[in-house]
Structure 1
Amino acid sequence: MLQVCLNGARAREECRSLPVSPSELAAEAARAVAAGAEDIHLHPKDAEGLDSLEPDVVAHAVTAVRRIVPPDVQIGVTTGAWAAPDPEQRAALVRSWTVLPDHASVNWHEEGAEQVAEALFDRGVGVEAGIYSGTDAARRFCASPFPGRVLRVLAEVTDVNAATAGEAAVALVKELGPVRPTPVLLHGEEGGAWSVLRVAARLGLDARIGLEDVLFLPDGSVAADNAALVQVARTLLAATGQ
């Protein structure tokens, strides 16, 4: 499975083509799905372009995208602590959502991860357990009762060096050994994104690509949009037999 991550916590200043508004997210999602994306991860943003978990902001973003993509394409959002630092507030916001995404990511190295995950489960929203390399998230998650309950593990390699990110990806997957057969989506960021995508393909794991993770194509040129990233990712995955 190839997921597209449409925008992330980035600001428009970093990327002129970054989708921010609900209509922009919908248009980008449609193009990315047409290019081969099978699942969507997005960050709802408020009027100032900042990530938000407020119910109206989430509702507008999810509704806009859901109207335009095929019904079998699932839509997920972030619950990152930067959007609402207090864990109780994050959980309360999840419980107040009026339009539900299909899934939401919960970063396991953040305080209150289990509390937020439980709020999502209570609402019937699938949980992507975000496991960052270089943190104790893998150990904490594997020791918790959640591995058998989550939709998938979202394994994020934080090493941005293209020469070493692949090794870091393999090491992170080994750390997650105890959670298998829970599905694992492996992805990198910035300079390490394409190296990690190749590792995911080689290991037969789910992968993701998009402007949240990287702004450049493998040849170093600036990606025009998410669809351009997805199209190249599809070619690389096909070359390894996925």
Structure 2
Amino acid sequence: MKQRLQVCLNGRRGGADGAGVPLSPAALAESAAEAVAAGATEIHVHPRTPCGRESLSPRVVGPTLEAIRARVRVPVGVTTGAWAEPDPALRLERVRSWSVRPDFASVNWHEPGAAELAGELLAMGVGVEAGIWSGTDGAARFAVSPLGPSVLRVLAEVTDPDPVTAEESARALLTELGAAHGRPVLLHGEEGGTWPVLRLAGRLGLATRIGLEDTLLLPDGEPALTNARLVTEGLAQYDRSLP
């Protein structure tokens, strides 16, 4: 069975991180199409205003989703990170106002208002990725959440950027998660920990992700100029790690 590889197109990066980071709906759609052609089976995106600010406004989320869906036929998900809208009540209001809805949305379980937001998304028919970050109480909160069995998957995010210790951090996070309410787990790292954690996901047979949100570098330290290049290398690294 083909393992799912999600591509994370841009994240919190901006123009200062390089011309290859897509920000506008058109650029995100083009990057998504290239990544899917390279083998990505899902899209994760952080919609931006014309000035480059992350936003959960329906006037920003809708056009971004429509542009990407015009180019690809794979599930498309968005962030609901608190940095895009710090006020939990306003964040919930923004999400409720979405007229164009994503296939799924990531909800960081350690953030204020996470349970209410996840419940609203599920009621709207939007899949929920339970974002469980290492170094937070997200795993403990998720373990006792009645919503746990209903989420689409667990997004296990290893925030340790050290390539030497990231795998150890990933294993510790997976131990914290335990059975994870029986939901599938997508394991990924960031920055220097991206590639070690991706290879660990391959060895464990877990889904993973890659993209300019997580790293700007290829495994050899060379700049990764496009998401498609990261997907190509990510699949190669993943397949070589399979047991």
The TM-score, its normalising length taken from structure 1, stands at 0.97
Specify the alignment match of 2:123 in structure 1.
122
What is the rounded CA distance, in whole Å, between the counterparts of 1:192 and 1:241 in structure 2?
Answer: 18
Specify the alignment match of 1:167 in structure 2.
168
Specify the alignment match of 2:34 in structure 1.
31
Q: How many aligned residue pairs are there?
A: 240
What is the rounded CA distance, in whole Å, between the counterparts of 1:168 and 1:62 in structure 2?
Answer: 33
What is the rounded CA distance, in whole Å, between the counterparts of 2:177 and 2:204 in structure 1?
Answer: 13
Specify the alignment match of 2:24 in structure 1.
21
CA deviation digits over 1:76-95, x for unaligned, max 9? 00001011111111111111
How big is the shift at 1:180? 4.7
The within-5 A match list for 1:56-95 is 56-70=59-73, 73-95=74-96
How big is the shift at 1:123? 1.1
Structure 1 counterpart SS, 2:148: coil
1:144 has 2:145 as partner: yes
How big is the shift at 1:238? 1.5
What is the rounded CA distance, in whole Å, between the counterparts of 1:61 and 1:98 in structure 2?
Answer: 12
Gaps of 5+ in 1: none
How big is the shift at 1:240? 2.6
Structure 1 residue ranges, 4+ long, deviating more than 2 angstroms after superposition = none
CA deviation digits over 1:154-194, x for unaligned, max 9? 00001000000011011111111131520000000000000
What is the rounded CA distance, in whole Å, between the counterparts of 2:232 and 2:195 in structure 1?
Answer: 13
Amino acid at match of 1:102: D
Amino acid at match of 2:72: V
Amino acid at match of 2:78: V
1:179 has 2:180 as partner: yes
CA deviation digits over 1:198-232, x for unaligned, max 9? 11111111000000000000000000100000000
Checking the alignment, whether the CA contact within 8 Å between 1:9 and 1:50 is kept in structure 2 is: no
Checking the alignment, whether the CA contact within 8 Å between 2:119 and 2:147 is kept in structure 1 is: no
CA deviation digits over 1:99-136, x for unaligned, max 9? 00000000011100011111211211000000000011
Specify the alignment match of 2:10 in structure 1.
7
What is the rounded CA distance, in whole Å, between the counterparts of 1:39 and 1:224 in structure 2?
Answer: 20
How big is the shift at 1:241? 3.4
What is the rounded CA distance, in whole Å, between the counterparts of 2:227 and 2:180 in structure 1?
Answer: 30
Structure 2 counterpart SS, 1:131: strand
Checking the alignment, whether the CA contact within 8 Å between 1:41 and 1:77 is kept in structure 2 is: yes
The TM-score, its normalising length taken from structure 2, stands at 0.97
Structure 1 counterpart SS, 2:28: helix
Q: Give the CA RMSD over aligned residues.
A: 1.0
Checking the alignment, whether the CA contact within 8 Å between 1:56 and 1:98 is kept in structure 2 is: no
The within-5 A match list for 1:103-118 is 103-118=104-119
Structure 2 counterpart SS, 1:64: helix
Specify the alignment match of 1:214 in structure 2.
215
Gaps of 5+ in 2: none
How big is the shift at 1:145? 0.8
